Amino acid sequence: ANCQSQCSSGLGTTADLGSVISNSMFDQMLKHRNDNACQGKGNFYSYNAFINAARSFRGFGTTGDTTARKREIAAFFAQTSHETTGGWPTAPDGPYAWGYCFLREQGSPGDYCTPSSQWPCAPGRKYFGRGPIQISHNYNYGPCGRAIGVDLLNNPDLVATNPVISFKSAIWFWMTPQSPKSSCHGVITGFWQPSGSDKAANRLPGFGVITNIINGGLECGHGNDNRVQDRIGFYKRYCGILGVSPGGNLDCGNQRPFGKGLLVFTM
């Protein structure tokens, strides 16, 4: 409608998202999400819920040229698929066809409550991982809920029971910078450019930096890591389905994690 503002920033509308990822591509990418063994069976993670949630986040999957848009969607679904995977090495259709299997953190998770006056934990509520990005901790549920207009401190399980809220939690995390880190969105769209200290830490533009943002303290900076390889495997598969090259710097094995000093390698 308003081409001047849309074109000058390179931002599209959510209506454009359907041209980046169609319903059939979505179903192919998340092929086994409704498998009997998966919590999400019954189509909890639906295409319509995803598109509906994305409407609240201007620029998500609609920023830049076609390559940038496709890479963002591939990267978003790769990272979230790793967090929710039900796959195993010899799984039917391969391990990377089993993203979006789980709604809630597996095992017997704790309450993930860090005492906070700004984001106080509600009595009896637990803030373990839920939804596509497995959002956890009260200090993430609080600001996420504020941003999307839902009281997630008192109702954290909405992230595992309401499909649109579930997707919104993941897209919120994807779009929101957490200092000193860029947003995942900023990296994949090229808005983030490495500083001198980033370059010294081998944090160069690419999928690897996104893994560093999400879980770098545990997964990056120590050479090969199976979790990182799983994220990359999903990303490559999804890039293939979307018809885009994955770009460079996919791994973070040689990147220093954000917020870590030079001593990280010697400890």
Nearest residue to 242 (alpha-carbon basis) of 45, 1, 64, 70: 70
pLDDT in tens, 151-167: 999 999 999 999 999 99
Domain ranges of the chain: 3-102+177-265, 105-162
DSSP secondary-structure letter at 130?
B
pLDDT in tens, 45-80: 999 999 999 999 999 999 999 999 999 999 999 999
Secondary structure of the chain: what % helix, strand, coil (to 5)? 45, 5, 50
**pLDDT for the residue numbered 262:** 42
Q: How far is CA 225 from the centre of its chain?
A: 19
* CB environment 33-70: b (16+ within 10 A), e (fewer): bbeeebbbeeebbbbebbbebbebbebbbbbbeeebbb
Catalytic residues: 83
Residue with tokens 């990280």: 264
Low-confidence ranges of the chain (pLDDT < 50): 1-9, 262-267
**Given this structure, which CATH class describes domain 105-162?**
alpha beta
Q: How far is CA 59 from the centre of its chain?
A: 15
**pLDDT for the residue numbered 171:** 99
Report the predicted TM-score, pTM, of the whole model to 2 decimal places.
Answer: 0.92
C-alpha 167/C-alpha 46 separation (Å) is 10
C-alpha 142/C-alpha 145 separation (Å) is 5
What are the residues facing 181 on neighbouring strands?
178
Please say whether the beta carbons of 249 and 204 come within 8 A.
yes
Sequence-distant (6+) residues with CB within 8 A of 218 are 227
Helix axes 66-83, 163-175, angle to 10 degrees: 120
Nearest residue to 264 (alpha-carbon basis) of 232, 219, 230: 219
Residue with tokens 């059939």: 24
The CATH number given to 3-102+177-265 is 1.10.530.10
C-alpha 109/C-alpha 114 separation (Å) is 14
Alpha helices in the chain (DSSP H): 3-9, 17-20, 23-29, 47-54, 66-83, 138-148, 158-161, 163-175, 184-188, 196-200, 207-219, 226-242
